[in-house]
Amino acid sequence: MIFQPKPSIISRSSWGSRTDTRVGTNRHGTRYIVIHHCAYNNSTIAARSEYEHMRVIQNQHMNDQGWSDIAYHYGIGKNGTIMEGRLFQYLSYASNTSPTYVDNNGIQVLMHGNFHVGNHFMNTSQRSKLIDLLSWLCYQYNISPSNIIGHRDNGASACPGDQIYSELTNIKNEVTMRVYGVQID
């Protein structure tokens, strides 16, 4: 693969993350990257800072779901800021967002927004940062771009919304060009 630089990623402490409550380590292989949306109301997200929205999601997962941390490894905010989510060495644990094999081998990436209503598309910043992050993750963890999937590919869910899901082929093609320099069927 062609070298891909690590994009700028805001640390957990910078957005005000809580300490996770998990015990021990449970690192599995990294074979998939699973894309999600948060499905919160877009006007609600627009009224919050990106950091605040990460805290809201983490609180929901830890307080309401009883999980040990925010479920996602990375979040991309409304302005395209990439934020660190649950600690990367903890790829798999009880709060996994989709139930089967992929989750035990997947890096979970959250897009802030509800991409299942109306014509709410990723903005230019969100989309370009997603490509940057996916390209780096594929390079860093030797993941084939063909293994970038949407949550709905691995569970009964509308996630990551039609507007992102319909873009997945284009996104995978762009990442393939970044990491291989050519399209691979």
159 binds Zn ion (CB under 5 A): yes
Task: Name residue, tokens 């302005």.
Answer: 79
Whichever of 86 and 178 has its CB closer to Zn ion, that residue is: 86
Q: Is 11 helix (H, G, I), strand (E, B) or coil?
A: coil
Q: How far apart are CA 94 and CA 175, in angstroms?
A: 30
Whichever of 57 and 159 has its CB closer to Zn ion, that residue is: 159
Write each residue from 11 to 50 as x if it is in contact with Zn ion (CB under 5 A), else as -, in one continuous string. Answer: -------------------------x--------------
61 binds Zn ion (CB under 5 A): no
Q: What is the 3-state secondary structure (H, E, C) of 46-82?
A: HCCCHHHHHHHHHHHHHHHCCCCCCCCCEEECCCCCE
Whichever of 45 and 159 has its CB closer to Zn ion, that residue is: 159
C-alpha triplet 134, 116, 130: angle, nearest 5°: 15
86 binds Zn ion (CB under 5 A): no
Applying CB under 5 A, the residues found at the interface with Zn ion are 36, 151, 159
